[in-house]
């Protein structure tokens, strides 16, 4: 069995080109864009990021102001209410995006644009994915806190100007290394979940845990191939990001403004989102019929790619 | 006709009515928003504050759409000559948008579908090519936006 990275990409692109451009239909773009919005944008994967750096004095002032604010019980209740509301909204978005992932995958597999029918038919799978993701997020937060807290304490004591702060700074090294390793593991879990476990759930009609079990047995036999797949996808995303930045710069940044709009951004990004959605299943299909999502669903085949491995 | 067939036909008709009403609503909203934006531009809502060109700041050259916002402001105030000086394609783009909105309404009235599917890719490709041509002409002739 020979496993390729380029051939699945070519097949995924052919499938997307056929779906989006041959023929071009506005309805397909608008409906499929909504499916992509449910799947990708509500999961927070493409939301805007906010980076803010504080100097030492400003950090202490903010901490004092927060402490003063929370000293009043009424404001504490308000703060708790806000946090709970944000958490509830986040959980609702997560549920919607979990179901949306199967809607989008179903549309790509069947080369059609629909929302209501796959939402109902695949709801059980979406709910299973939602529950698994909730547990994963809680576990990830607990693990992150286990080294984030000592990391924060180390940094704060170093900033406090202790005469032996250089010793504490040395302690940052292993903690930062742990944090980086943790981040890498979480990123790979997210990648494998989206590109492989969700398609396996869809193909076999099984829950998240059973699908992970099936995937991990395959992963265990092909560790290097799947780890390299992660690097391959990262390189693709960098290329897409470079193209998006170029196009944005060529339009006085109005292109960026367009992408920032919810739903509008997902419609505009369909030529990237659809191939990425199809890439995982195309790669997985190389490992045998029992992993072939398109064949099992009776999804229409893309045009044969010259030179692709059989 | 069997009751299930009657129910199916009735559901299909009500679905079609909802779809048509939604389409007319979208058409009206699009026209209303565009008109509001046009009036705001004419009243100077963006005076002194439009998008800044990152390409000009980074590389010292304007991007293909540089001057478009100012051109639209001039056009909204009725100054075609100034609009053409800022960006020669602003007036044609506004005309295109207006024709597209009318064609959309015509399609809703006549029930003729597929107009947008046939024309939109061609118009987008033509407009993108025109933007690039104008941009290159400006770069080669040294004409930059005031």
H or E stretch at B37: helix B3-42
Alpha-carbon distances, residue B98 vs B82, B109, B141 (angstroms):
21, 17, 31
A249 interaction partners in chain B (CB closer than 8 Å):
54-55, 58, 63
Alpha-carbon distances, residue A81 vs A53, A71, A77 (angstroms):
27, 16, 6
Asked if A25 reaches chain B (Cβ–Cβ under 8 Å), the answer is: yes
Averaged pLDDT of chain A:
85
Averaged pLDDT of chain B:
82
Tell me: pLDDT of A308 over 50. Answer: no
Give residue-wise pLDDT tens across range A81-100: 999 999 999 999 999 999 99
Which residue in A has a C-alpha nearest to residue B55's C-alpha?
Answer: A249
Mark which residues 97-116 of B lie under 8 Å from A by CB: 116
The first and second tokens of residue A73, run together, are 């019980």
Tell me: pLDDT of B5 over 80. Answer: no
ipTM: 0.70
Nearest to A253 among B54, B64, B116 (CB): B54
Half-sphere exposure of A262 (CA within 13 A, CB side): 11
List of long-range contacts for A256-259, beta carbons under 8 Å, 24+ apart: A257/B51
CB contact under 8 A, B53 and A253: yes
pLDDT of amino acid A16: 95
Task: Return the higher-pLDDT residue of A231 and B37.
Answer: A231
pLDDT of amino acid A103: 97
Give residue-wise pLDDT tens across range A169-218: 676 777 788 888 999 999 999 999 999 999 999 999 999 999 999 999 99
CB contact under 8 A, A252 and B51: yes
Task: Kindly give, in sequence order, each residue whose CB lies less than 8 Å from that of residue B15, ignoring residues fewer than 6 positions away.
Answer: none
Share of chain B above pLDDT 90, in %: 25
Task: Identify which of A272, A283, A150 has the alpha carbon closest to the alpha carbon of residue A215.
Answer: A283
A101 preceded by a cis bond (ω within 30 of 0): no
CB contact under 8 A, A251 and B66: no
Which band of pLDDT confidence, cut at 50, 70 and 90, is reported for residue A51?
very low
- Shortest CA gap A251–chain B (Å): 5
Which residue in A has a C-alpha nearest to residue B121's C-alpha?
Answer: A24
B55 interaction partners in chain A (CB closer than 8 Å):
249-250, 252
Task: Return the higher-pLDDT residue of A47 and A59.
Answer: A59
The first and second tokens of residue B136, run together, are 């290159």
B70 interaction partners in chain A (CB closer than 8 Å):
none
Question: What is the Rg, in whole angstroms, of the alpha carbon atoms belonging to chain B?
Answer: 21
Exposed (0-12), middle (13-18) or buried (19+): which is A278, by Cβ within 10 Å?
buried
pLDDT of amino acid A53: 46
Half-sphere exposure of B54 (CA within 13 A, CB side): 13
Distance CA A22, CA B44 (A): 43
Instruction: Tell me the mean pLDDT in the region B16-23.
Output: 78
Which band of pLDDT confidence, cut at 50, 70 and 90, is reported for residue A303?
very low
Rounded to the nearest 10 degrees, what angle do helices A123-159 and A73-110 cross at? 130
CB contact under 8 A, A25 and B54: no
- Shortest CA gap B26–chain A (Å): 13
- Shortest CA gap A27–chain B (Å): 9
The first and second tokens of residue A127, run together, are 């709910």
Tell me: pLDDT of A230 over 50. Answer: yes
Instruction: Tell me the mean pLDDT in the region B17-33.
Output: 86
Asked if B66 reaches chain A (Cβ–Cβ under 8 Å), the answer is: yes
pLDDT of amino acid A266: 92
Phi–psi pair at A38, nearest 5 degrees: -65, -40
∠ CA(A151), CA(A156), CA(A158), 5° rounding? 95
Largest pairwise CA distance in chain A: 70
Asked if B81 reaches chain A (Cβ–Cβ under 8 Å), the answer is: no
Task: Kindly give, in sequence order, each residue whose CB lies less than 8 Å from that of residue A275, ignoring residues fewer than 6 positions away.
Answer: A9, A12, A13, A15, A16
For residues A153-182, one letter each, b for 16 or more C-beta atoms within 10 angstroms of the residue's C-beta and e for the rest, the string is ebeeebeeeeeeeeebeeeeeebeebeeeb
Distance CA A308, CA B16 (A): 45
- Contact between A171 and A248 (Cβ < 8 Å): no
Alpha-carbon distances, residue A288 vs A204, A303, B54 (angstroms):
14, 20, 49
pLDDT of amino acid B93: 93
- Contact between A61 and A101 (Cβ < 8 Å): no
Which band of pLDDT confidence, cut at 50, 70 and 90, is reported for residue A166?
low
Mark which residues 191-250 of A lie under 8 Å from B by CB: 248-250
- Contact between A290 and A199 (Cβ < 8 Å): no
Task: Kindly give, in sequence order, each residue whose CB lies less than 8 Å from that of residue A32, ignoring residues fewer than 6 positions away.
Answer: A19, A20, A104, A107, A113, A270, A274
Asked if A24 reaches chain B (Cβ–Cβ under 8 Å), the answer is: yes
Nearest to A252 among B63, B116, B120 (CB): B63
End-to-end Cα spacing for chain A: 9
Give residue-wise pLDDT tens across range A239-286: 999 998 888 888 876 777 778 888 888 999 999 999 999 999 999 999
């Amino acid at each position: 069995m020979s496993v390729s990275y380029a051939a699945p990409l070519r097949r995924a692109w052919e499938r997307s080109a056929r779906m989006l451009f041959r023929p071009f239909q506005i309805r397909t773009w608008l409906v499929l864009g909504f499916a992509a919005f449910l799947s990708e944008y509500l999961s927070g994967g493409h939301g805007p990021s906010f980076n803010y750096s504080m100097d030492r004095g400003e950090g202490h002032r903010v901490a004092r102001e927060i402490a003063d604010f929370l000293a009043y019980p009424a404001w504490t209740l308000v703060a708790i209410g806000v946090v709970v509301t944000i958490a509830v909204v986040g959980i609702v978005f997560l549920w919607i995006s979990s179901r949306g992932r199967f809607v989008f995958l179903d549309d790509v597999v069947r080369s059609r644009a629909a929302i209501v029918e796959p939402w109902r038919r695949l709801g059980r799978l979406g709910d299973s994915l939602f529950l698994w993701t909730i547990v994963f997020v809680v576990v990830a937060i607990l693990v992150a806190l286990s080294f984030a807290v000592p990391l924060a304490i180390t940094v704060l004591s170093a900033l406090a100007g202790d005469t032996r702060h250089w010793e504490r700074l040395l302690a940052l090294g292993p903690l930062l290394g742990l944090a980086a390793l943790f981040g890498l593991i979480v990123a790979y879990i997210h990648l494998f979940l989206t590109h492989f476990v969700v398609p396996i759930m869809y193909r076999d009609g099984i829950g998240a845990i059973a699908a992970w079990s099936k995937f991990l047995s395959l992963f265990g036999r092909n560790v290097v191939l799947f780890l390299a797949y992660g690097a391959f996808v990262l390189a693709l995303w960098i290329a897409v990001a470079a193209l998006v930045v170029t196009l944005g710069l060529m339009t006085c940044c109005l292109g960026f403004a367009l992408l920032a709009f919810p739903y509008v951004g997902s419609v505009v990004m369909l030529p990237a989102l659809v191939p990425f959605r199809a890439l995982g299943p195309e790669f997985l299909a190389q490992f045998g019929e029992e992993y072939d999502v398109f064949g099992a669903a009776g999804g229409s085949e893309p045009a044969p790619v010259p030179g692709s491995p059989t | 006709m069997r009751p299930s067939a009657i129910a199916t036909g009735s559901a299909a008709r009500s679905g079609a009515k909802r779809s048509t009403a939604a389409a007319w609503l979208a058409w009206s909203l699009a026209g209303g928003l565009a008109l509001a934006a046009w009036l705001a531009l004419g009243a100077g809502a963006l005076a002194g504050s439009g998008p800044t060109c990152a390409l000009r700041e980074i590389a010292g050259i304007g991007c293909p759409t540089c001057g478009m916002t100012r051109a639209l402001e001039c056009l909204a105030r009725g100054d075609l000559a100034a609009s053409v000086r800022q960006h020669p394609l602003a007036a044609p783009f506004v005309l295109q948008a207006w024709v597209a909105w009318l064609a959309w309404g015509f399609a809703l009235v006549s029930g003729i579908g597929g107009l947008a599917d046939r024309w939109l890719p061609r118009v987008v490709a033509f407009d993108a090519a025109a933007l690039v041509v104008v941009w290159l002409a400006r770069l080669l002739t040294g004409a930059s936006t005031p």
